[in-house]
């Protein structure tokens, strides 16, 4: 099975935090740094700099400079060394994983990193309210000696190593000094990365500055004398900043990517990575009784013209999909692809059979800070209205607001911003469709999903693909979501940057700390 990391938004119980001016007692220097600087544009400020609280997805750009992870990904997408240089499963059954720390690694404050420190950091993230917590809560951690960490899962987990890469945050080890004063983690960094957050040069909500860490174990890997992450809420303003050289990198959208096509100074790359549509949260009918009826959920899937919506919203940067998996990956099912042809008459028939001939109303929250998401949800709203289903939309202007709305459990469905992972692997479907999954805020349970998920979790490499497809078939046939489009992740960057690319088998670009300037 191709291992793809998860691109998703946070559903942790966090509000947008004001970042205080605090340096965390870390030391900085310029050893190994060149004269080049790097400026990254982001559409939203982080809800926190605390690895246990921060939203993930593109927000890893706020963590990567300051927090080295236990493991990374190499150019082929395979697991690679980070703070740990040896790793792997112990015994059979995919339940025990061992990490061996590389010799001589230190936190930015100069304190040596021990296995006990790693265990303490993982336990802190495990108890956090950020997106990582749900993945770590079932696990137990121990340090049999100063350099060895053992991780045990209560049930088989075929992809445990991914948890210690940047995408899952928990591998970003926090120093004892940070754990002793957890409130300071929101506004300072206490990691072991090549850079350190400098509050004195930063302005919360506007720009975040990172300077070289003189205690980083590989000074030759520090390529910039300064990394700045700028918050530019308007994507058109971001493009202008990129064109004028004020920023070097940004995430694009189907609306703005064509505006730089043909430019010799800007490079655009894209990769199909996410499925977009309505995530049907209330599958037990707590808020919207009708959503507990499989016929109603299937009706929603028949009621939308995916081809028309995809063309209108994504143009050349999307593909119509009927399932929560992307074409070209193991979990993509040919059977599921043919389940929901556009058929509004059938949608009305199913609604009538379920007792909703007069229609029903579904409250939906979404992030209006992403213009593509706004266009998508409005297009879905328009088409569902034709069969009598009315979406009552609530817009959040930032990530924190979207998270807070989601956790109120007042909404029967949501649209993730900028999109939810289309991964077919263990973590992607666990997050949305198992009882304790990250996105399953109502705790909806389904025995058929559980059985198919268990089959995937315990499968051997040769049977992982069919098991992933079987799980996709269950999720799709029961209409546990309303996928509409497979959306591309788009990045646009200055041609002066080298090393920017999507890591094979993942939904992420290479870390900003690995880029260099021509």
Burial class of residue 501 (count of CB atoms within 10 Å of its CB; 0-12, 13-18, 19+): middle
Cis amide prior to 171 (ω within 30 degrees): no
φ/ψ bin of 478: left (φ > 0), alpha (ψ from -120 to 50), beta (otherwise): alpha
**What pLDDT digit, counting tens, does each position of 45-87 carry?**
998 999 999 876 778 899 999 999 999 988 788 899 999 999 9
Q: 501 and 460 in one domain?
A: no
- Asked if residue 340 is part of any domain, the answer here is yes
Q: 71 and 212 in one domain?
A: yes
For the whole model, what pTM was predicted?
A: 0.74
Q: Which of 10-14, 127-131, 136-140, 500-504 has the lowest mean pLDDT?
A: 10-14
Q: 293 and 192 in one domain?
A: no
- Asked if residue 19 is part of any domain, the answer here is no
> Looking at the predicted structure, is the pLDDT value of residue 352 above 60?
yes
Q: Are 515 and 43 in contact (CB under 8 A)?
A: no
**What pLDDT digit, counting tens, does each position of 181-200 carry?**
999 999 999 999 999 999 99
**What pLDDT digit, counting tens, does each position of 208-261 carry?**
999 999 999 999 999 999 999 999 999 999 999 999 999 999 999 888 999 998
Query: How many beta carbons lie within 10 A of that of residue 150, not counting itself?
Result: 16
Contacts of 516 (CB under 8 A, 6+ apart): 36, 223, 497, 498, 499
Q: 223 and 341 in one domain?
A: no
- Asked if residue 21 is part of any domain, the answer here is no
Instruction: Determine the average pLDDT of the residues in 302-324.
Output: 94
- Asked if residue 5 is part of any domain, the answer here is no
**CATH code for the domain in which residue 404 is found:** 3.10.105.10
Q: 424 and 318 in one domain?
A: yes
Q: 512 and 387 in one domain?
A: no
Q: 218 and 317 in one domain?
A: no
Range of the domain at 57: 37-248+496-517
The number of distinct structural domains making up the chain is 2
Angle between helices 426-433 and 447-457 (to 10 degrees): 160
Q: 190 and 130 in one domain?
A: yes
- Return phi, psi of residue 150, to 5°: -110, 135
Q: 454 and 356 in one domain?
A: yes
- Asked if residue 30 is part of any domain, the answer here is no
**CATH code for the domain in which residue 513 is found:** 3.40.190.10
Q: 507 and 477 in one domain?
A: no
- Asked if residue 265 is part of any domain, the answer here is no
**What pLDDT digit, counting tens, does each position of 412-448 carry?**
999 975 444 444 456 777 778 888 777 889 999 999 9
Task: Specify the DSSP class assigned to residue 18.
Answer: P
Closest to 173 measured CA to CA, from 120, 224, 104:
120
- Asked if residue 27 is part of any domain, the answer here is no
Q: Are 249 and 494 in contact (CB under 8 A)?
A: yes
pLDDT score at 129? 83
pLDDT score at 212? 98
């Amino acid at each position: 099975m191709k291992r793809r990391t998860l691109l998703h938004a946070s559903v942790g119980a966090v509000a947008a935090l004001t970042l205080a001016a605090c340096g965390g007692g870390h030391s900085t220097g310029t050893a190994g740094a060149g004269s080049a600087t790097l400026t990254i544009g982001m559409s939203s400020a982080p809800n926190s700099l605390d690895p246990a609280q921060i939203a993930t997805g593109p927000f890893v750009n706020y963590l990567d400079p300051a927090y080295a992870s236990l493991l990374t990904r190499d150019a082929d997408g395979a697991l690679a060394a980070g703070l740990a240089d040896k790793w792997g499963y112990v015994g059979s059954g995919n339940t025990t994983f061992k990490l061996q720390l590389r010799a001589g690694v230190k936190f930015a404050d100069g304190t040596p990193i021990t296995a006990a420190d790693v265990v303490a950091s993982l336990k802190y993230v495990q108890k956090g309210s950020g997106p990582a917590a749900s993945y770590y809560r079932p696990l137990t951690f121990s340090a049999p000696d100063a350099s060895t960490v053992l991780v045990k899962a209560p049930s088989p987990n075929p992809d445990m190593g991914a948890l210690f890469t940047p995408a899952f945050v928990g591998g970003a080890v926090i120093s004892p000094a940070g754990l002793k004063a957890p409130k300071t983690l929101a506004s300072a960094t206490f990691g072991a990365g090549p850079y350190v957050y400098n509050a004195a040069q930063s302005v919360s909500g506007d720009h975040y500055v990172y300077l070289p860490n003189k205690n980083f174990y590989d000074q030759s890997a520090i390529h910039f004398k300064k990394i700045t992450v700028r918050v530019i809420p308007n994507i058109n303003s971001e493009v202008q900043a990129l064109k004028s050289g004020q920023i070097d990198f940004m995430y694009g959208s189907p609306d703005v990517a064509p505006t730089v096509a043909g430019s010799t100074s800007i490079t655009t790359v894209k990769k199909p990575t996410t499925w977009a549509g309505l995530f049907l949260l209330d599958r037990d009918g707590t808020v919207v009784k009708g959503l507990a009826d499989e016929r109603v959920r299937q009706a929603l899937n028949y009621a939308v013209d995916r081809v028309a919506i995809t063309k209108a919203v994504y143009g050349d940067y999307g593909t119509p999909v009927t399932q929560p998996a992307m074409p070209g990956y193991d979990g993509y099912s040919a059977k599921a692809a043919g389940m929901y042809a556009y058929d509004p008459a059938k949608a009305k028939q199913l609604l009538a059979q379920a007792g909703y001939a007069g229609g029903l109303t579904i409250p939906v929250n979404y992030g209006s800070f992403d213009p593509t998401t706004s266009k998508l949800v409005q297009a879905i709203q328009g088409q569902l209205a034709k069969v009598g289903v009315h979406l009552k939309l609530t817009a959040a202007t930032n990530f924190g607001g979207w998270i807070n709305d989601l956790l109120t459990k007042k909404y029967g469905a949501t649209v993730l911003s900028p999109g939810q992972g289309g991964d077919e692997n263990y973590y992607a479907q666990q997050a949305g469709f198992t009882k304790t999954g990250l996105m399953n805020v109502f705790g909806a349970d389904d025995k058929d999903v559980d059985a198919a998920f268990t089959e995937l979790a315990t499968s051997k490499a040769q049977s992982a693909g069919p098991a992933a497809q079987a799980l996709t078939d269950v999720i799709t046939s029961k209409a546990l979501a309303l996928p509409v489009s497979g959306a591309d992740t788009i990045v646009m960057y200055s041609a002066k940057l080298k090393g920017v690319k999507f890591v094979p088998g993942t939904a992420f670009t290479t870390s900003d700390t690995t880029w260099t300037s021509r």
